[in-house]
Amino acid sequence: MVCLGEEEAKPHFVLVPLVAQGHMIPMVDMARLLAEHGARVSLITTPVNAARIQPIIDRVSRSNLPIRFVELRFPCKEIGIPDGCENVDLLTDQETFKPFFDAMSSFQSPLEDYILAQDPNPTCIISDGCNPWTMEVARKLGIPRFVFHGPSCFYVLCDYNIMRHNLYKLIVDQLEPFLVPDLPVRVEVNKLQAPGFFNQSGWEKLCDDCIEAEKTADAILINTFDDLEHPFIEQYAKSLGKKVWPIGPLCLYNKDVDSKATRGNIAAIDQHRVITWLDTKEANSVIYVSFGSLARHQPLQIIEIGSGLEASKKPFIWVIKEAEMVPEVEKWIKEEFEEKTKERGLIVKGWSPQLAILSHAAVGGLVTHCGWNSMLESISNGVPLVTWPHFADQFLNEKLVVDVLRVGVSLGVKSPCYFTGVDSSTAEVVKSEDIEEAVSRLMDGGEEGRERRERAKEFGEKAKKAMEEGGSSYVNMNEMIQFVMEQSGKQGCLLNGSVDFLA
């Protein structure tokens, strides 16, 4: 048997993320992991999104990893949004969301042209679960297609079971509590907390297409690991009747500070300044407060968060988005808040080098909006969490982390707050006392707090093991590559942990 080493013999994956930070960031990590496992990768992106990750593109090119970043034009003009609005986090008007999501399918024809121009043919498309239009591309060109789900497997399974039992349609009252059917654990929610993706009026076609895309996919990839979500992964695979590979935590691809600090966008603060600041703090003493890339708060809420942090007396790093930095907030920070907390607080105004912060030994807690990437980044680094879900999958992610994994303290928020900040004016305001109490419980918390931290550290260790050579996610990635090669009619053999292929 002769194992070929030629570039052409490598499997070629075409990655098609949704252009939203929580979906692109893990796919960019996945691209580099696949390349290190012996594959070639094309990652579909747009000019603005590519510019945001230029440091990664430069690093990939210096290291000769076989990854091509393919920039397709996003039709901003055609859908009436400002030029350059190429990522969900740049949208400011709720009305533009639907046209934005629909516009993703305009990639279909240029993607087909790109794939047809490759010689040999790409081996597999890995498409975000929110990009069902890739179904048609894969079918037309006869290429296997995997769906990548960004949220926790727990969420994906809950959503699947709720949908399968038709509860999104049967339950009319948004506040009526119901049990998620067929789960190995008892989970009670209402429709406000578990709305599903795209389950609103006007979005029916996209919603149906996503279900069909999952049903017809050749396999499913999830950013999680077996030791974290085993019962849910097993049950989801059984229900779908197809392979479900947990291949995460993908964030652990990033080993050095620079690589951890340059994900998703150019940071608003120099990572070395943050690290130097953290170096002066005791282990597990700092609380990091961040609400992901989308959730935005009104000034009143921002002031409550700041007051809670001030009252907690803990050292903190707090991320306030550019869009939230309105004159009222600037003034309050400058004239009141900064003076009182400057000895122990750092505010990041804009994009934060989050993973570099969460992996520093001084960080002992995260206040989070419960986006799955942030939660996984925290857990992989052994950091327990205060949970404050805002929308989409986040209330169910909270249940997993607080009730099942028991590494989180819930702030007790019961209803959603949407992300453009427009609807958040009507959302319940979380009070500073509640924030202070939850932060204190997490960071001090006596025996209960010690045990919670211990569990988080254990998951952190298991996460690292999963990604090491021979670990469960590492093995899954190789198995997945092998599966693809078999599907595409070739045979593979594993060599030195990476995959080389037989003629």
Residues in contact with ligand UDP by the rule CB under 6 A = 21-22, 25, 263-264, 290, 292-294, 319, 351-352, 354-355, 371-374, 377
Is the CB of 394 or the CB of 472 nearer to ligand UDP?
Answer: 394
State the Cα angle at 258 between 255 and 260, rounded to 5°: 55
Q: Which is nearer to ligand UDP, 354 or 473 (CB)?
A: 354
The beta strand positions in 135-285, using DSSP E, are 145-149, 178-179, 188-189, 219-222, 244-246
Could you tell me the smallest distance in angstroms from the CB atom of residue 377 to ligand UDP? Answer: 5
Smallest gap, in angstroms, from Cβ of residue 290 to ligand UDP?
6
- Tell me how far, at minimum, the Cβ of 223 lies from ligand UDP, in Å: 9
The least distance separating ligand UDP from the CB of residue 372, rounded to whole angstroms, comes to 5
Nearer to ligand UDP by Cβ, of 131 and 488: the residue is 131
Closer to ligand UDP by Cβ: residue 377 or 437: 377
* Smallest separation (angstroms) from ligand UDP to the CB of 292: 3
User: In angstroms, what is the minimal distance from the CB of 373 to ligand UDP?
Assistant: 3
- Nearest-5° Cα angle at 46, 6 to 102: 115
Neighbour-count burial for 316-343, b at 16+ CB within 10 Å, e otherwise: bbbbbbeebbeeebeebbeeebeeebee
Q: Which is nearer to ligand UDP, 371 or 449 (CB)?
A: 371
134/374 with CB nearer ligand UDP: 374
Say how far residue 341 (Cα) sits from the centre of its chain.
Answer: 31
Q: Which is nearer to ligand UDP, 208 or 322 (CB)?
A: 322
Closest among 294, 297, 313, 305 to 411, alpha carbons compared = 305
Question: How many Å apart are CA 139 and CA 112, to the nearest integer?
Answer: 11
* Element housing 440 (H / E): helix 432-443
Tokens representing 423 are 């609807």
Query: CB 391 → ligand UDP: shortest distance, Å?
Result: 8
Task: Give the C-alpha separation, 54 to 15, whole Å.
Answer: 18
Work out the number of other CB atoms within 10 angstroms of the CB of residue 368. Answer: 29
Contact of 150 with 128, CB cutoff 8 Å: yes
